[in-house]
């Protein structure tokens, strides 16, 4: 199957015209009598045209309790099937995260249906599966090359085929969402934090390969999540170990943000990194909890993109020093959702009840607007096919 590029191709059509109403002078065409339309009929037609069809996802969200709506905005790492079943049954979280620490039997023994059966709303089953050194299913599905090696040795069509095959394997294991591909634009050494996880230092090459990889996953039934907005490729360090500062926003617009302009409308989620961005984020407020960064992504205006209507995920809020040196998990989740994220991601189930208690208080006191919660819950439900 030949991969179709997600980037629009302009087509110039010249010299095309048409002629209408070709009557002759000898035999003039009859003139139709004007239609008689009552004012009431016109008003009814206008009302029908102006009334949008009901949103099934909004109706779905309306069937949930407030705590369940808030829980749909949480995706948490699990240690294994029992841990996942418990947190889904007790708190109805919107997603679980299969990490390197998760018991491999959850996927190997095809135990995800047990987890889904415990939920009123089946959760997203999410994973980091990029290929190369970031792989959670290598023992089950074999190894894939890193992004950089892929771009060096494979065609775009071959990349689509590889992603489609990996996506089918993930789907068979019960996974529904992959935090891939990386669309960071980088020339840093292979073993740096992004390094060989980046396809290229050329944003157009990143678009071609990441677009193919995303489409391969989608066509296999796996939802891709691009990362790390607004661009980690030239960051000052590793957000796992400390603060990371990117080049200024004006510079990101020329390179790092270009893949998002091209790919944000291709049925993807987008993950926001813990990145300090001069000219965008306030001091001490990384992009993952920054209203300005979330607005940039959602509106698209600040970097020439269309508005983004898919779900915005945070990077891990509990295991990366760029955020944990500043906030505990309860405050970090609130800050991320208030800023405009749709999904707060972290690594354990331990704090879910406390996080939800705090979010209920945040809604009750107006710190987190209820309509915003409803809109995010609908976005998440739409992404995972619940409505």
pLDDT at 4 (0 to 100): 56
Residues annotated catalytic, as ranges: 240, 315
pLDDT at 279 (0 to 100): 97
Q: How far apart are CA 129 and CA 3, in angstroms?
A: 21
Q: How far apart are CA 86 and CA 353, in angstroms?
A: 12
pLDDT at 24 (0 to 100): 36
Whether 215 and 266 have beta carbons less than 8 Å apart is answered as: yes
Partner residues linked to 74 by β-bridges? 344
pLDDT at 5 (0 to 100): 57
pLDDT tens sequence across 325-353: 999 999 999 999 999 999 999 999 999 99
Q: Are strands 177-178 and 74-78 parallel, antiparallel or unpaired?
A: unpaired
Phi, psi of 24 (to 5 degrees): -115, 165
Q: Kindly report the number of other CB atoms within 10 A of residue 283's CB atom.
A: 6
Residues of the chain with pLDDT under 70: 1-50
pLDDT at 49 (0 to 100): 53
pLDDT at 33 (0 to 100): 44
pLDDT at 241 (0 to 100): 83
pTM of the model: 0.87
Q: How far apart are CA 329 and CA 344, in angstroms?
A: 10
Whether 303 and 309 have beta carbons less than 8 Å apart is answered as: no
Q: Is 68 in a helix, a strand, or coil?
A: helix
Longest dimension (CA), the chain: 88
Q: How many CA atoms lie within 13 A of 49 on its CB side?
A: 6
> For the chain, which residues make up each domain, given as ranges?
57-383
Specify the CATH superfamily of domain 57-383: Glycoside hydrolase, family 3, N-terminal domain (3.20.20.300)
Q: How far apart are CA 373 and CA 354, in angstroms?
A: 18
């Amino acid at each position: 199957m030949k991969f179709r590029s997600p980037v629009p191709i302009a087509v110039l059509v010249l010299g095309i015209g048409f002629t209408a109403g070709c009557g002759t002078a000898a035999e003039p065409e009859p003139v139709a009598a004007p239609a008689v339309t009552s004012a009431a009929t016109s008003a009814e037609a206008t009302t029908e045209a102006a009334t949008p069809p009901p949103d099934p996802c909004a109706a779905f969200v309306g069937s949930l309790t407030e705590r369940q709506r808030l829980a749909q905005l949480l995706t948490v790492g699990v240690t294994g099937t029992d841990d996942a079943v418990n947190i889904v049954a007790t708190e109805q979280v919107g997603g679980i995260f299969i990490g390197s620490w998760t018991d491999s039997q959850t996927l190997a023994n095809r135990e995800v249906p047990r987890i889904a059966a415990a939920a009123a709303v089946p959760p997203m089953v999410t994973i980091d599966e990029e290929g190369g050194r970031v792989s959670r299913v290598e023992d089950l599905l074999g190894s894939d090359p890193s992004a950089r090696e892929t771009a060096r040795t494979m065609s775009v069509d071959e990349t689509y085929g590889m992603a489609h095959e990996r996506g089918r394997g993930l789907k068979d294991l019960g996974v529904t969402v992959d935090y891939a591909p990386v669309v960071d634009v980088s020339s840093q050494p292979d073993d740096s934090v992004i390094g060989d996880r980046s396809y290229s230092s050329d944003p157009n090459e990143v678009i071609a390969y990441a677009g193919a990889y995303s489409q391969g996953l989608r066509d296999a039934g796996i939802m891709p999540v691009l990362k790390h907005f607004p661009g980690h490729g030239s960051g000052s360090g590793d957000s796992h170990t400390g603060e990371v500062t990117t080049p200024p926003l004006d510079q990101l617009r020329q390179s790092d943000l270009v893949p998002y302009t091209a790919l944000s409308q291709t049925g993807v989620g987008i993950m926001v990194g813990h990145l300090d961005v001069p000219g965008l984020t306030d001091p001490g407020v990384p992009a993952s909890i920054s209203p300005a960064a979330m607005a940039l992504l959602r509106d698209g205006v600040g970097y020439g993109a269309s508005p983004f209507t898919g779900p915005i995920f945070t990077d891990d809020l509990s295991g990366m020093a760029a955020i944990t040196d500043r906030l505990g998990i309860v405050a970090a989740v609130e800050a991320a959702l208030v800023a405009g994220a749709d999904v707060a991601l972290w690594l354990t189930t331990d704090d879910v009840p406390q996080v939800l208690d705090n979010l209920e208080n945040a809604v009750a006191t107006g710190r987190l607007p209820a309509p915003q919660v409803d809109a995010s819950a609908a976005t998440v439900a739409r992404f995972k096919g619940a409505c």
